[in-house]
Amino acid sequence: MGKPTVCFIGLGIMGKPMAANLLKSGYSLIVFNRTREKMAALVEKGAVAADSISYCARRADVTITMLPDSSEVSEVILGGNGVAESAKPNATVIDMSSISPVVSQKIGGILREKNIDFLDAPVSGGEPGAIAGTLAIMVGGSEAAFDKVKPILQTMGESVKRVGDIGAGNYAKLANQIIVALNIAAVGEAFALAQKAGLDPEALYDAIRNGLAGSRVLDAKVPKVMKRQFDPGFRLKLHQKDLKNVLETARQIHVPLPLTAIVQQMLTTLIADGKGDLDHGALVQFAEKLSGVTIQKNY
């Protein structure tokens, strides 16, 4: 039995390299993106360009969506001529976007009535992880549906873990995004303090990175901050969107998140200052502005 045909919808910063890894692994791939130019590079590598969502989903055994937020995912899957109307019975739909768990559960319920499996499988690792195929993938859905498509997910991720039923993947991603955002905010305050005190940030980084304050966030962000490199691996405005989903979900299930609320406001301030398309590491600029310093290497 050959590998299943995959339809991939959404070829942004993350989706395009994720789809490329499916091609490298030998999957037959159909791609759809509303900005058609984004399909060209994948078509050159062997993908088939679809002229509509329905064309893509109708011909696939597995449909993957990688889109900005809940509204786009709902439109693509549940809208007219969308995935739900077009996918074959017994097909599998995997939404790898970071969206509201409640929306994931709604979509899963509608697809179940059509005899279509659904998994919510958001990712962490940013553009570098998407390119390298080393993403952390958090999956919600039935164990049977997960086992069926796990090899597909493993072409895109180094860590592929089922964490519960539909919606659990996005609950896990929301928890992940809290930790990452608060880490970056803490890094900003700590290094702004050190910079103001006259410390070399590179020396500080080398001194603390192997202690308890060390983290993958510290290693991923501080070297780029010191070089003032804020080209987006994960856009600041998308992290703000994720924290919006965190706080809305927390409100629904009655969980107070005061630290998350503060950092979400910091992100909102930076977006208002025109920084929404920078990497989320630019969150350090909030502390920099308050302190009147710039965290950078001393050459």
- Residues assigned a catalytic role: 173
Give the helix ranges, DSSP H, for the chain.
15-24, 40-44, 53-58, 70-78, 83-86, 101-113, 126-132, 143-154, 168-196, 201-208, 216-226, 236-253, 258-272, 284-291
* Nearest alpha-carbon partner for 264 in 173, 184, 172, 168: 184
Instruction: Give the DSSP per-residue string, 249-291.
Output: HHHHHT---HHHHHHHHHHHHHHHTT-TTSBGGGGHHHHHHHH
* Nearest alpha-carbon partner for 283 in 182, 198, 202: 182
Rounded to whole angstroms, how far apart are CA atoms 156 and 136? 9
Which pair of structure tokens corresponds to residue 127? Answer: 């553009």
48: phi then psi, degrees, rounded to nearest 5: -100, 130
Q: Is there a contact between 169 and 139 (Cβ–Cβ < 8 Å)?
A: yes
Please give the biggest Cα pair distance in the chain.
64
* Nearest alpha-carbon partner for 25 in 40, 8, 13: 8
Question: Would you give the end-to-end CA distance of the chain in angstroms?
Answer: 59
Which pair of structure tokens corresponds to residue 108? Answer: 């899963």
Burial label for 231, CB within 10 Å (0-12, 13-18, 19+), is: exposed
DSSP for residue 50:
P
* Nearest alpha-carbon partner for 127 in 260, 11, 215: 11
